[in-house]
Amino acid sequence: MAARNWNPLRRLLALPNESRTKTILVAFLVSAISAALVSGATVWLRPIQAANRAAEEQARIAALVQGIPGMSDLLEQSGGTLSTVVIDLDRGRAAAEVTPATLEAALADPANWTVLDAGQNIAGLGQRPNFVQVYLLRDGDTVSLLLPLSGQGYGGRIDAIMALRGDMNTIAGIAVTQHSETPGLGARIEESSWRASFPGTELRDASGELRFRVARGPASGVHEVDGITGATRTGRGVTQMVRFWLGPDGYGPLLDAIERGEF
């Protein structure tokens, strides 16, 4: 009498190919192995994808910095790097417990987001993170800032980085990092010819009121940038995005702290 084979794999393979049990088990094993391989590949690729996204953002920041008069010289004098800091937006200060390395994990917690009411939600975001990573450069007592912005455009979300001069009121430049606007119309926000109207634009008037806007046509004042023909809703989205993030619910407390010399 032949000894019974206790190896489950061999017993499975010994079943007839017509066996429903064999078909189900083989399908299950193939699915499980495939899922494991896909999950493993996702985990393995995630750091590479994150590194690629970070490299793309750094390239855009570098291009933005190169276009700001005097910024490149300041970078060279300071060693060629911008400082990175996570800001607690409510306090307008550097976050005490959140760093660039832990920011992603912190923002995975819904408690670290603020729901915006109808009056606050001018950028169409619905909610705002409590912590944001910004870039700054100190030249003596003067601080220049690069601030991430986001808001709702005509086709979807617009992400950008805006550079401010040391007075915290004059725009030094802007780079659009992501958008879904209509090609040939709103998508022109990524063109250098449109972004060229930003440097020198002032955010607030003498009374402190936030006056920035994208005009419907050519800019007619120091607080305006050129509009894009046929892309009124995109222009309105950029206007509201800048007004939200440079206002009291965005970077306003940080800008106030810098102007008071407290940052």
Give the pLDDT of the chain (263 residues) as one tens digit per residue: 455 556 666 766 676 766 777 777 778 878 888 888 887 777 776 667 666 766 666 666 666 666 555 556 555 655 556 778 899 999 999 998 899 889 999 999 999 999 999 999 999 999 999 999 998 877 666 667 889 999 999 989 999 988 888 889 999 888 888 898 888 888 889 888 888 899 899 999 999 999 999 998 889 899 999 998 888 999 999 999 999 999 999 999 999 988 888 77
Long-range contact pairs involving 247-252 (C-beta distance under 8 Å, separation at least 24): 247/210, 249/89, 249/114, 249/116, 249/120, 249/128, 250/89, 250/128, 251/87, 251/89, 251/92, 251/132, 251/134, 251/147, 252/92
Give pTM, 2 decimals. 0.73
Kindly give the residue spans of alpha helices, DSSP state H, lying in the chain.
8-14, 20-66, 71-77, 103-107, 192-195, 232-245, 252-259
Beta-bridge mates of residue 126: none
Identify the H or E element spanning 144. Answer: strand 142-152
Q: DSSP letter string over 183-196?
A: TTTGGGGGSHHHHT
Chain centre distance of CA 105: 15
* pLDDT at site 20: 75
- Residue 156: φ, ψ to 5°: 155, -160
Encode burial over 195-226: b for 16+ CB neighbours within 10 A, e otherwise.
bebbbebbbbeeeeebbbbbbeeebeeebbbb
- The residues, any chain, with a CB within 8 Å of residue 211's CB and separated by 6 or more, are 202, 203, 204, 205, 223
DSSP β-ladder status, 142-152 and 131-139: antiparallel
Structure tokens at 107: 């923002």
CA distance 197 to 107: 34
* pLDDT at site 64: 60
DSSP reduced 3-state for 106: helix
CA distance 30 to 32: 6
* pLDDT at site 238: 95
Encode burial over 59-91: b for 16+ CB neighbours within 10 A, e otherwise.
ebbeebbebbeebeebbeeeeeebeebbbbbee
* pLDDT at site 244: 96
Cα torsion 43, 135, 122, 201 to 10°: value is -140
Cβ-contact 94, 86 below 8 angstroms: yes
Cβ-contact 98, 106 below 8 angstroms: yes
